[in-house]
Structure 1
């Protein structure tokens, strides 16, 4: 008897210790009795019947994430890989369903993600997949919520975190984008050149206008000066013909003096005889006389026609 007492004491201590167990925060333990569900225990120190009760398993109540990579084809026949991240957790009130209804929840969630993505993406072109990735994520979440809630899992959020087209497609897309940028740059450069040409033409037109206006003002002032010179000469007894001759001769020699004073000017040959001014004046008077005669003849012819009518 004395030999078995220490063994009994040790065995009793072991049984007593095995009667207690702890459950971590944000987790749950499933207790079975003879293989049958007995209870669900939550965080803290718990008690069970030794040998009879057994901890069948533990479930985490924290939010977990499952990353699923799916390869599928778009509407424009481009193969693309999508990475869908599913954030889920076990519903506290449905720990029983989560433990007993599903053996492999990850595989179940993955199957639903594959089914939804391969149903939605083939309806879209590649560009639309990038634009509507949130719509894909919402469709996955809605499908998973309907299916997984019965198994005790709550789908918190689904995210399409990566869209990876085929390598050749990405190269082609980069080339297209580069070509579009070059085209846009060429258009901007063309617009800039056109603006410069237009502004230069406007500046030249304005310069010509101002130059013409200056020449007109110069000639107007010259005519006014000639008129005043003739008036001055008439007042001292010199008639208009003599005054014109004097002005022509004066301007003739002023021109020669100006050309001679310019050291960098090219050589210009001009008539420089004493009769040059008189000859120019005679030619001017002759042309004025002929012009007046032609004008008088035209007036007389017009008047004769009016009388005949």
Structure 2
């Protein structure tokens, strides 16, 4: 019975030793083993064999992306308080053995690493903001991110990590500064609105002036053409009158009649036309014998001039 007990104990020991010879590493994780406290090797995801009893898993390291939120304060060169809320995204640099060793042994634990990482980032941002004015900070969001990456990437690589992204989710100031900034924005918006309204009014006035100028040009051109047509009509009228007078004078000469009668008839017709179409009530005519004599002399002179012109035309 004693021998059977020994056999059972031995079997249990063997089973325990065999089971402890295998270790499972989850996907996205790398295990680091030590022998008597000294680094031995890394174990990759899946089922791995290790030396029983003496080889132990020292640490399991996640190679997946990790994020952390930051909240801290900085002071600008003009002594304005700036409050930051940021999101940090980082991961293990790669799964190479030297990188994994750095991650496993550079810091005592994960808490010490996170404290060093956060303080490094905060110090980098505070140093950058300290050289800028309060009015510049909001427009330098991207520059702050690039500055932090340049400053801490090399240090993180020595620790075995890589900074993938740093997002400035919120940048605020003291309440008094926020109110003054809101007033500045409001006044700038009013100024821009006034400028836009002025530009719109200027465009409207310009277009109206252009339209009025075009209308004046069109009216002037129409008046010019109308005047030209009126002139042509008067010329045609005079030409027809001259032709009629010429024909009447010829007929009267053939009949041995005094052609001055034609002029006298035209003069009386003109007076008749004045009386019918004039808007006035009185027509002043020189009815004296001297006046009539003067008028007849003028008509006879015009008749002779017409006969001379007719003779020249022949």
Q: TM-score, normalised by structure 2?
A: 0.67
Residue 115 of structure 1 corresponds to 123
Deviation at 1:117, TM superposition (A): 1.4
Are 1:85 and 2:88 an aligned pair?
A: yes
Distance 1:111 1:37, change over 3 A: same
Residue number among 41, 60, 63 corresponding to 1:61 in the alignment: 63
Quick one: distance in 2 between partners of 1:144 and 1:158? 12
Q: Which piece of structure 1 moves more, 170-179 or 197-206?
A: 170-179
2:155 equivalent to 1:150: no
C-alpha deviation, 1:170, in angstroms: 6.8
Contact 2:36 2:55 in 1 (8 A): yes
Structure 1 residue runs without a partner (length 5+): 257-268, 290-309
Question: Is 1:100 matched with 2:105?
Answer: yes
SS of equivalent to 1:270: coil
Q: Structure 2 unaligned runs (5+)? A: 249-258, 299-314
Match of 2:256 in 1: none
Q: Does the Cα contact within 8 Å between 1:112 and 1:144 map onto a contact in 2? A: yes
**How far has the Cα of 1:198 moved from its partner?**
1.1
Return the alpha-carbon distance in structure 1 between the equivalents of residues 77 and 266 of structure 2. 98
Structure 1 residue 99: Cα displacement: 1.4
Determine if the alignment matches structure 1 residue 15 to structure 2 residue 17: yes
Confirm or deny that 1:165 pairs with 2:172: yes
Corresponding residue number in structure 2 for 1:72: 74
Mapped partners of 2:87, 2:38: distance in 1: 37
Distance 2:101 2:172 in 1: 42
Secondary structure at the residue paired with 1:39? strand
Report how far residue 73 of structure 1 moved. 4.5
Q: 1:50 to 1:87 in 2, by over 3 A?
A: same
Which deviations, in whole Å up to 9, do the C-alpha atoms of 1:145-166 show, x marking residues without a partner?
22122222233x3343534334
Once the two structures are overlaid, the 10-residue window that deviates more, 109-118 or 43-52, is 43-52
The Cα RMSD (Å) is 3.7
Q: CA deviation at 1:108?
A: 1.8
8 Å Cα contact 1:90/1:98 also seen in 2: no
Counterpart of 1:264 in structure 2 is: none
Cα distance change on mapping 1:247 and 1:136 into 2, 3 Å: same
Please, what TM-score do these two structures have when normalized by structure 1?
A: 0.68
Shift of 1:21: 0.6
* Structure 1 range deviating more: 9-18 or 126-135: 126-135
Which structure 2 residues correspond to residues 22-41 of structure 1 after superposition, within 5 A? 22-41=24-43
- Per the TM alignment, residue 231 of structure 1 is displaced from its structure 2 partner at its CA by 2.0
* Contact 2:63–2:91 (8 Å) recurs in 1: no
CA contact (8 A) 2:77 2:131 kept: yes
Q: CA deviation at 1:210?
A: 3.1
User: What residue number does 1:175 align with?
Assistant: 186
The whole-number CA distance in structure 2 between the counterparts of 1:241 and 1:136 is 108
